[in-house]
């Protein structure tokens, strides 16, 4: 299959170009499209065959369901039932935007769309191309991040094309993703409400509305106990892994730099190609936007070891550290003194 790339204006999407993409969705094909978080690999949420194609293209385990995207708030009722009041408060504050809600799933959702779970993940994105595509398709669009399973999420049409060339009919090029990290995911069916994946909508923002919200240990970037059931199926799987070995160094700031330079020298002596990422907490927004791109760039120039410094987990830092910890094959924590 030849994969087309069509450029669409993210500020004012050309209706006729979206029409072509929506036709593919209606026919049960999958289309890669931009959202404000990362690119998505979309299909009609009510078409089982189409959803199966997503899993196949991504090489994604079938027990890990995608997020379902809608173009207007009230469409949540097509997908979910027994929607709690708090959901409406959150929707009014954060939709359209990078917040995904886990709710009790409605009755007519195909099993494959939620991997057989009784719950469903729903989000209304802000990106105008995404919204127009959903609208013209006339159906909610199930879309996981557009990347081969375990690889960093795609944040540009080129990254998506590199992963899916010849596997899907169309990639919409809407420029680089604005946020760069996937949406915040919260489970409204658990008591207390649980943050499953941190993102641009921060824990601090959520606490103002849900003071007793808890943070799942995987959301903090910790490993899941092997014998404990995953709250979010995606938690069981390794993520964001570039080909290089990522070594994350956390703790005392000045010590981190020293260790990174020391390790870098040692690896270089062994003949290894080393990449370094020194992150500054002042640049969180930029770091989030460029993180997955950077990891992929290291792959492109065959970097073998990536040494990266950790940052504080406040605000967007929680989401950044969550992705880094999942990408890391080794974490070194430097204690003060
Ligand atoms: O920003 C985003 O959310 C992007 C864009 C395309 O919207 N999408 C995205 O989808 O990141 P994906 O499939 O890569 O991540 C969805 C996460 C997975 O970790 C999955 O396990 C979890 O949401 N999830 C989906 N349905 C769930 C459910 N019913 N209960 C708990 N977790 C669920
Ligand atoms: Mg993903």
Cβ(64) – ligand 1 distance below 6 Å: yes
Cβ(313) – ligand 1 distance below 6 Å: no
Closest ligand to Cα 234: 1
Among protein residues, the one whose CA lies closest to atom 18 of ligand 1: 234
Closest ligand to Cα 104: 1
β-strand pairing of 31-33 with 40-44 = antiparallel
Report how far ligand 2's centroid is from the alpha carbon of 332 (Å): 25
Cβ(144) – ligand 1 distance below 6 Å: yes
pLDDT in tens, the chain (337 residues): 999 999 999 999 999 999 999 999 999 999 999 999 999 999 999 999 999 999 999 999 989 999 999 999 999 999 999 999 999 999 999 999 999 999 999 999 999 999 999 999 999 999 999 999 999 999 999 999 999 999 999 999 999 999 999 999 999 999 999 999 999 999 999 999 999 999 999 999 999 999 999 999 989 888 777 656 666 666 766 677 778 999 999 998 889 999 999 999 999 999 999 999 999 989 999 999 999 999 999 999 899 999 999 999 999 999 999 999 999 999 999 987 6
pTM listed for this prediction: 0.96
Ligand 1 atom closest to Cα of residue 119 = 29
Cβ(183) – ligand 1 distance below 6 Å: yes
Residue-level pLDDT at 9: 98
């Amino acid at each position: 299959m030849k994969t087309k790339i069509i450029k669409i204006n993210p500020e004012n999407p050309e209706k006729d170009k979206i029409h072509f993409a929506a036709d593919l969705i209606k026919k049960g094909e999958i289309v890669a499209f931009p959202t404000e978080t990362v690119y998505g690999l979309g299909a009609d949420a009510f078409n089982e065959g189409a959803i199966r194609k997503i899993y196949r293209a991504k090489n994604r385990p079938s027990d890990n369901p995608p997020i379902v995207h809608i173009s207007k708030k009230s469409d949540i009722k097509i997908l979910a039932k027994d929607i709690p009041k708090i959901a409406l408060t959150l929707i009014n504050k954060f939709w359209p935007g990078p917040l995904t809600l886990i709710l009790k799933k409605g009755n007519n959702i195909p099993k494959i769309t939620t991997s057989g779970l009784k719950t469903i993940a729903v989000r209304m994105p802000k990106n105008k191309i995404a919204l127009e595509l959903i609208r013209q398709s006339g159906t909610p669009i199930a879309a996981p991040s557009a990347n081969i399973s375990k690889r960093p999420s795609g944040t540009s049409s080129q990254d998506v094309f590199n992963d899916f060339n010849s596997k899907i009919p169309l990639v919409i090029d809407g420029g680089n993703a604005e946020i760069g990290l996937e949406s915040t995911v919260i489970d409204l069916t658990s008591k207390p409400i649980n943050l499953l994946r941190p993102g641009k909508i921060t824990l601090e923002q959520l606490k103002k509305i849900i003071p007793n919200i808890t943070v799942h240990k995987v959301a903090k970037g910790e490993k899941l106990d092997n014998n404990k059931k995953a709250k979010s199926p995606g938690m069981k799987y390794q993520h964001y892994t570039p080909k290089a070995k990522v070594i994350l160094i956390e703790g005392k700031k000045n010590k981190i730099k020293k260790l990174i330079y020391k390790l870098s020298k040692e690896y270089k002596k062994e003949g290894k190609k080393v990449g370094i990422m020194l992150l500054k907490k002042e640049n969180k927004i930029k770091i989030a936007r460029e993180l997955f791109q950077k990891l992929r760039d290291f792959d492109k120039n065959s970097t073998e070891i990536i040494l990266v410094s950790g940052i504080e987990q406040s605000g967007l830092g929680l989401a950044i550290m969550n992705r880094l910890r999942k990408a890391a094959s080794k974490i070194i924590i430097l204690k003060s003194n």
